[in-house]
C-alpha cells in the first residue's frame, strides 16, 4: 500500500534500519579473525597432507599418435580435408556459415568475428610437414589440386581408413587417394617422434604461451575424449564439476552442469548459449533478491531464521 | 554532542582531503570499524562462516603468491611445490564451502533488510567473481585436467562471443587473469563487502520488536518496526 514499506525489503526502517540500542555482548574482531584464520590453516594443511592434489600428466600429440595411431591418422585426415569439428566450428576460429549458436536473432558468436583464425589443413598438417628437413613432395601435389580433388581424396581415404582392419593406415587398401596417405603417414611419423608438438606449439616463435591449436587438434580426436570419459570429465558425466582422480573439482558449478543434463538444454544445438543465458539471469536474480518481493519474503515464509536466532527468540 | 555533530563543526575543512576524511569518519567511525561489542543477537554458529571464508581467502592468496613466484611448472617437479599446490586447492575448496554456507545463511536471515542491499549484492558479486577466478586457476594446472577444461570450456565462452578475449587455451592470457585481474577484483569486492558490514552493522532478527526484552528501554520512536502491510 502507498506509504508502507515491506519489512523484508532493503528499505525497511525500524529496528533493522537504525543502530542497535538493545543489549550488547562482548566481541573481539581481531581475536575472531585470528581464530578463524588459524582454524582454516589447520584444516587446509590436514586436507593437503592427507588428500594432496591430482596432477594427471598432460596429453601430447606424441602420446596420442603412439597410443592410438589409427585415431590420430583419421583425425589428421579430417583436419586436412576440412571436415573436423574445428574446421567447421565457426567463430572465433572459422567463418563456417550456420555453425554459430543463436537465440533468435541474437548471434554473439558471429558478432565477435573470426578473431583466432584456424585453417586446419595448413595449421595442423601442411605447415608442420613443410618444416621437415626433407619436405614431402606431396605437399606441392596437394596445393596444386582443386578443392574438389582434395575433398575427393580425403573423403575416399577417410572411408577406406575406417574400413581397414583396426583402422590402421598400413591396412588401407590401395586406391585413388592422391597425396593423402603420404601426407598423413609423414605427419603420423612426425607426431610419433614428438616433433609435431613442438612445431604446432611454437608456430614460428621462440616464445608461445598459446595452446589453442594443440588443444583443438587433440579435441578433434577420440583419444582425448575417451581419456576424459575414463576420468568422468565429459559434459554428460557432470564433468564440469569433476576433477581427475577422486579429488573434488569445481562442485560450485553444479547448477551450471545440471542444466546440461536436462531437456531442452541437453538436446539443444545452442545449449551453451542457453545455459549461459539462464545462469546469468539466475545470478542476477540472486543479486537482486532484496528488490524482488516474492523472493525476499521466502525467509519469512520458511522460518529457518528461527534456528539462527533461537537464543534471541527464546529470550524475547 | 554526537560525533557527526562534532565532525560537522570541524574547522577549516575545505580541501578535498579534509572533506573526504570527515565523510569517511561519519560513515565508518573507528568504533564501528573495529568494534569491541556486538548486539546480543549476534550469537550463532552461522556467523563463523563469513570469517571462515575470509580466512580461507587469505590462505588462497598466500599459497597463490608462492606458486606464482615459482611459476606454473614448479609443482610438477617439486614435492614442496606439490604441497603448496595442495594447500592452494584445499583452501579454495574450503573458501567455497564456507562462502556458500555464509550466503545461504544470510539469505534465510534476509540480511539485506535495513539498507543492506549493497552488502548483499557485493556478497553475491564476490561469489560470482570467485567462481571465474577458480575456473582460471584450474586452467593453470598445466596438466590433463587443464587441457580438458580448456577444450570443454571454450564452447560456452565462444557461444557468448567472448572466447577470443577470454581464450581458455591461451595460458599467458589465463595466467594474467588468474594472478592479477581476478584476485584484484575478488579482493576489492570482499573489502567493500566487509566495510559495508561494518558500516551497516549485523542485521537484527526478523520480526525483532521494540517490546523484546533485549531492547527494553529503547526509545520507541527510534526502533519501532514498521508494521507495514506488504505492498
Domain boundaries, given as residue ranges, for chain A: 61-230
pLDDT given for residue B228 in this prediction: 36
B188 touches chain A (CB under 8 A): no
Provide the pLDDT for residue A19: 86
pLDDT at B223 over 70: no
* Percentage of chain B lying above the pLDDT 90 cut: 81
Q: Which of A9, A228, A83, A173 is nearest to B146 (CA)?
A: A228
Report CB contact under 8 Å: B115, A287. Answer: no
Residues 6 or more apart in contact with residue A2 via CB below 8 angstroms: B231
Q: Is some CB atom of chain A closer than 8 A to the CB atom of B213?
A: yes
Is B82:A53 a contact under the CB 8 Å cutoff?
A: yes
ipTM of the complex: 0.93
Write the DSSP symbol of residue A240.
G
Q: At what angle do helices A180-193 and A69-81 cross, to 10 degrees?
A: 130
Chain B residues lying within 8 Å of A116, measured CB to CB: 163-164, 167
Residue where the block lists cell 591449436: A213
Q: Which portions of chain A are predicted below pLDDT 50? A: 1-2
| Residue B217: predicted pLDDT | 53
Q: Which of A245-259, B1-15, B216-230 has the highest mean pLDDT?
A: A245-259
The answer to whether B58 contacts chain A (CB < 8 Å) is yes
B80 touches chain A (CB under 8 A): no
A152 vs A140: CA distance, rounded Å: 17
Q: Structure pTM?
A: 0.91
The three three-digit cell numbers of residue A47, written as one number: 586436507
Distances (CA, A) of A226 to A78, B68, B184, B197: 18, 32, 38, 49
Most A CBs within 10 A among B32, B161, B221, hence the mutation to make, goes to B161
Closest listed residue to residue B106, CA positions, set B191, B32, B33, B49 = B49
Separation in Å, CA A286 to CA A308, B13, B188 = 21, 41, 20
Joined grid coordinates for residue A168: 590402421
Task: Give the pLDDT score at B229.
Answer: 36
In this structure, of A164-168, A290-294, B49-53, B140-144, the range with the lowest mean pLDDT score is A164-168
How does DSSP classify residue A17? G
Residue contact B152–A44, C-beta within 8 A = no
Contact criterion met (CB < 8 Å) for B44 and A311: yes
Residue B51 pLDDT exceeds 80: yes
Could you report the per-residue pLDDT of B56-102, keeping only the tens digit for each? Answer: 999 999 999 999 999 999 999 999 999 999 999 999 999 999 999 99
**Per-residue pLDDT at A39:** 97
**Best of A9, A10, A109, A202 to mutate (most B CBs within 10 Å, chain B):** A10
Average pLDDT over residues B207-231: 58
What is the predicted pLDDT for the residue at B224? 42
Interchain contact, B37 vs A25, CB within 8 Å: yes
When pLDDT is cut at 50, 70 and 90, the band that residue B1 belongs to is low
Amino acid at each position: 500500500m502507498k506509504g508502507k514499506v515491506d519489512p523484508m525489503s532493503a528499505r525497511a526502517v525500524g529496528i533493522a534500519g537504525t543502530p542497535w540500542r538493545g543489549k550488547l555482548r562482548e566481541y573481539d574482531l581481531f581475536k575472531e579473525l585470528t581464530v578463524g584464520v588459524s582454524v582454516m590453516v589447520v584444516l587446509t594443511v590436514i586436507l593437503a597432507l592427507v588428500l594432496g592434489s591430482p596432477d594427471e600428466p598432460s596429453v601430447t600429440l606424441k602420446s596420442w599418435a603412439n597410443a592410438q595411431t589409427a585415431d590420430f591418422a583419421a583425425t589428421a585426415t579430417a583436419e586436412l580435408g576440412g571436415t573436423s569439428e574445428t574446421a567447421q566450428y565457426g567463430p572465433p576460429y572459422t567463418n563456417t556459415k550456420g555453425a554459430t549458436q543463436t537465440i533468435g536473432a541474437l548471434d554473439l558468436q558471429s558478432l565477435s568475428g573470426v578473431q583466432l583464425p584456424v585453417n586446419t589443413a595448413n595449421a595442423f598438417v601442411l605447415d608442420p610437414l613443410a618444416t621437415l628437413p626433407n619436405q614431402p613432395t606431396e605437399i606441392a601435389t596437394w596445393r596444386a589440386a582443386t578443392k574438389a580433388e582434395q575433398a575427393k581424396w580425403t573423403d575416399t581415404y577417410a572411408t577406406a581408413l575406417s574400413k581397414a582392419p583396426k583402422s590402421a593406415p598400413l591396412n588401407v587398401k590401395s586406391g585413388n587417394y592422391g597425396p593423402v596417405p603420404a601426407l598423413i603417414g609423414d605427419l603420423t611419423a612426425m607426431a610419433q617422434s614428438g616433433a609435431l608438438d613442438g612445431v604446432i606449439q611454437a608456430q614460428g616463435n621462440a616464445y608461445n604461451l598459446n595452446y589453442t591449436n594443440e588443444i583443438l587438434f587433440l579435441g578433434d580426436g577420440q583419444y582425448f575424449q575417451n581419456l576424459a570419459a575414463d576420468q568422468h570429465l565429459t559434459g554428460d558425466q557432470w564433468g564440469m564439476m569433476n576433477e581427475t582422480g577422486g579429488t573434488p573439482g569445481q562442485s560450485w558449478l553444479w547448477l551450471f552442469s545440471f542444466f546440461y543434463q536436462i531437456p531442452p538444454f541437453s538436446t539443444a544445438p545452442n545449449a551453451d548459449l542457453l545455459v549461459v543465458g539462464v545462469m546469468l539471469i539466475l545470478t542476477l536474480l540472486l543479486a537482486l533478491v532484496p528488490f524482488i518481493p516474492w523472493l525476499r519474503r521466502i525467509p519469512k515464509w520458511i522460518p529457518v531464521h528461527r534456528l539462527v536466532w533461537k537464543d534471541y527468540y527464546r529470550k524475547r | 554532542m554526537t560525533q557527526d555533530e562534532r565532525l560537522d563543526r570541524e574547522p577549516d575543512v575545505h580541501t578535498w582531503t579534509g572533506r573526504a576524511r570527515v565523510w569517511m569518519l561519519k560513515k565508518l567511525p573507528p568504533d564501528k570499524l573495529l568494534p569491541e561489542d556486538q548486539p546480543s543477537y549476534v550469537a550463532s554458529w552461522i556467523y563463523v562462516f563469513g570469517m571462515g571464508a575470509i580466512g580461507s581467502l587469505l590462505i588462497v592468496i598466500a599459497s597463490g603468491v608462492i606458486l606464482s613466484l615459482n611459476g606454473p611448472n614448479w609443482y610438477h617437479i617439486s614435492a614442496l611445490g606439490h604441497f603448496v599446490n595442495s594447500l592452494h586447492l584445499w583452501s579454495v575448496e574450503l573458501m567455497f564451502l564456507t562462502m556458500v554456507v555464509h550466503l545461504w545463511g544470510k539469505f534465510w536471515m534476509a540480511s539485506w533488510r535495513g539498507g543492506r542491499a549493497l552488502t548483499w549484492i557485493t556478497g553475491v558479486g564476490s561469489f560470482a567473481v570467485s567462481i571465474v577466478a577458480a575456473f582460471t586457476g584450474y586452467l593453470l594446472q598445466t596438466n590433463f585436467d587443464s587441457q580438458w577444461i580448456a577444450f570443454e570450456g571454450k564452447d560456452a565462452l565462444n557461444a557468448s562471443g567472448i572466447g577470443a578475449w577470454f581464450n581458455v587455451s591461451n595460458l599467458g592470457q589465463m595466467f594474467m587473469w588468474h594472478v592479477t585481474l581476478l584476485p584484484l577484483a575478488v579482493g576489492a569486492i570482499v573489502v567493500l563487502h566487509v566495510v559495508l558490514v561494518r558500516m551497516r552493522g549485523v542485521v537484527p532478527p526478523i520480526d525483532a520488536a521494540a517490546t523484546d526484552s533485549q531492547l527494553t528501554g529503547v526509545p520507541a520512536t527510534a526502533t519501532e518496526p514498521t508494521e507495514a502491510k506488504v505492498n
